[in-house]
């Protein structure tokens, strides 16, 4: 059940929010659970939406703490010392990497810090390294369950490393807009979820000494890292499962036309060819990774087809939910009339009816890899960026039918 207005405001009070030159702050820091992340996104979106007509170039949210329940936000060095059974100075020595502590005590301190989810003071860490203590997260929007799943983990791993996470959200129109936003911000490095920026502008940012890590976009450039989902394997599993359950006429919903940065459309085309299945241009749709857009486009697709597709493969769960709703509202059934598959294994897929068959990957690990790669580049900007993958697996639920009559 959605939280009431008072609960939502408690969530908002956990944040130091910068909007233009104005600043709102409160020290009433109530715990916010990961489940409330989706509602937080709605609240954040309302901040960004208000005043958009004024022409301000962007909105900024500065988050000094993670959205993780019992994340140790109120734990201090005294609590760690008490749990480990050592002095405060011993804890300080261990956490600051000094080697004048016995291995046994050092291990006890690290174990206590991990058990308490102790997070070092951001300002103290910032003073020691003479940096800003900030990491920027750049994206075009924050609404939707995908970002509700990503942001709590990113907040947590940044805070655990002693960094505040600044979120920069805007409808950037050009690559140069994105680059200028990165360069104008007071940050040590950037995590990029906005795919608009070109290699030329990435090079410009790197020349200014700001490392960047891209999430689910394959960028091979010096000083730039990327963490990728194994989209090829996940999409192949989608098509293979459909093939072996008797589906032959398969539609595909991509995110953005001519912008397949994560490779899911290319993987779909390759898998269809491998299994000898026809690629029909009229069955390729664009969904903008948005439930409402997917809903409308599926209604258009089905309305102009003489014969229904056996299945619709979607490049995200949000689009898959839109497809399922459209099919239902047109008086048909999933999976009886049309099977639907998603990608991302978001919580909404398990709560809908029928439950959504989808591709899963470890979102928490995905975010941890991004933060760790960026920290590595911040520590030594001369290092080459790396490319890392997180594995996928197919989660079989109830949104795919067994079409026995079409099995060979």
In this structure, the strands spanning 16-19 and 22-24 are antiparallel
Q: What pLDDT is attached to residue 143?
A: 74
The token duo for 90 is 């011993």
Q: Is 301 exposed, middle or buried (0-12, 13-18, 19+ CB in 10 A)?
A: buried
The pLDDT profile of the chain, 408 residues, written as one tens digit per residue, is 334 444 444 444 333 333 222 233 323 323 333 334 444 444 444 444 434 444 443 333 443 333 333 344 446 788 889 999 999 999 888 877 676 788 888 889 888 887 776 755 544 554 455 678 899 999 877 778 888 889 889 999 999 888 999 988 876 778 898 898 899 888 999 999 877 788 999 999 988 889 999 998 888 888 899 999 999 999 999 999 999 999 999 999 998 754 544 688 999 999 999 999 999 999 999 888 899 999 999 999 999 999 999 999 999 999 999 999 999 999 999 999 999 999 999 999 999 999 999 999 999 999 999 999 999 999 887 788 889 999 999 999 999 999 987 665
CATH code for the domain in which residue 89 is found: 1.10.260.40
Give the contacts of 177 (CB within 8 A, at least 6 positions apart).
57, 170, 196
Q: How many domains does the chain have?
A: 3
CATH code for the domain in which residue 398 is found: 3.40.50.2300
Instruction: Indicate if 243 and 180 belong to the same structural domain.
Output: no
Q: What pLDDT is attached to residue 121?
A: 54
Instruction: Indicate if 140 and 62 belong to the same structural domain.
Output: yes
Q: Is residue 110 part of a domain?
A: yes
CA atoms of 35 and 377, how far apart (whole Å): 32
Please confirm whether the linkage preceding 335 is cis (ω < 30° from 0). yes
Contact, 238 vs 341, CB < 8 A? yes
Q: What pLDDT is attached to residue 149?
A: 87
Q: What pLDDT is attached to residue 255?
A: 82
CATH code for the domain in which residue 144 is found: 3.40.50
Q: Is residue 366 part of a domain?
A: no
Give me the helices (H) in 21-140, please.
37-49, 77-84, 88-95, 103-115, 122-129
Instruction: Indicate if 275 and 137 belong to the same structural domain.
Output: no
Q: Is residue 367 part of a domain?
A: no
Instruction: Indicate if 58 and 173 belong to the same structural domain.
Output: yes
SS3 262: coil
Q: Is residue 245 part of a domain?
A: yes
The token duo for 361 is 């990957």
Q: Which domain holds residue 179?
A: 5-71+124-210
Q: Is residue 215 part of a domain?
A: no
The token duo for 97 is 């990497």
Asked which of 92, 118, 144 is the last residue of a domain, the reply is: 118
DSSP designation for 281: G
Instruction: Indicate if 52 and 87 belong to the same structural domain.
Output: no
Asked which of 210, 239, 254 is the last residue of a domain, the reply is: 210
SS3 351: helix
């Amino acid at each position: 059940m959605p939280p009431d207005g008072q609960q939502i405001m408690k969530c908002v009070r956990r944040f130091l929010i910068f909007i233009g030159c104005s600043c709102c702050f409160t020290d009433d820091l109530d715990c916010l659970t990961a489940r409330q992340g989706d509602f937080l996104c709605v609240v954040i979106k309302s901040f960004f939406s208000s005043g958009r007509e004024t022409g301000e170039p962007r909105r900024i949210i500065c988050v000094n703490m993670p959205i993780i329940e019992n994340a140790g936000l109120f734990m201090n060095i005294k609590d760690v010392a008490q749990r480990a059974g050592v002095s405060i100075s011993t804890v300080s020595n261990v956490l600051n990497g000094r080697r004048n502590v016995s291995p046994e005590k050092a291990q006890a301190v690290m174990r206590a810090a991990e058990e308490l989810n102790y997070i070092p003071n951001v300002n103290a860490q910032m003073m020691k390294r003479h940096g800003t203590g900030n990491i920027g997260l750049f994206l075009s929007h924050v609404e939707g369950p995908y970002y509700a799943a990503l942001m709590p983990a990113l907040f947590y791993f940044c805070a655990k490393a002693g960094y505040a996470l600044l979120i920069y959200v805007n409808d950037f129109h050009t690559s140069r807009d994105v680059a200028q936003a990165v360069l104008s911000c007071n940050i040590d490095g950037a995590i990029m979820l906005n795919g608009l920026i070109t290699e030329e502008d990435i090079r410009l940012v790197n020349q200014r000494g700001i490392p960047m890590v891209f999430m689910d976009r394959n960028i091979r450039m010096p000083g730039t890292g990327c963490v990728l989902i194994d989209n090829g394997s996940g999409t192949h599993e989608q098509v293979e499962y459909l093939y072996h359950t008797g589906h032959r006429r398969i539609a595909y919903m991509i995110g953005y036309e001519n912008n397949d940065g994560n490779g899911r459309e290319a993987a779909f085309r390759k898998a269809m060819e491998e299994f000898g299945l026809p690629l029909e241009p009229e069955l390729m749709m664009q969904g903008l990774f948005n439930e409402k857009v997917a809903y409308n486009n599926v209604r258009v697709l089905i309305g102009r087809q003489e014969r229904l597709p056996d299945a619709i493969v979607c490049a995200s769960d949000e689009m898959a939910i839109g497809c399922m709703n459209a099919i239902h509202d047109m008086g048909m059934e999933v999976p009886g009339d049309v099977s639907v598959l998603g990608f991302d294994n978001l919580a909404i897929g398990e709560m809908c009816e029928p439950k959504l068959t989808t591709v899963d990957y470890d979102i928490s690990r995905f975010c941890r890899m991004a933060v760790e790669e960026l920290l590595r580049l911040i520590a030594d900007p001369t290092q080459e960026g790396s490319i890392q993958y997180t594995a996928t697996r197919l989660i079989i639920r109830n949104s795919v039918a067994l079409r026995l009559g079409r099995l060979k």
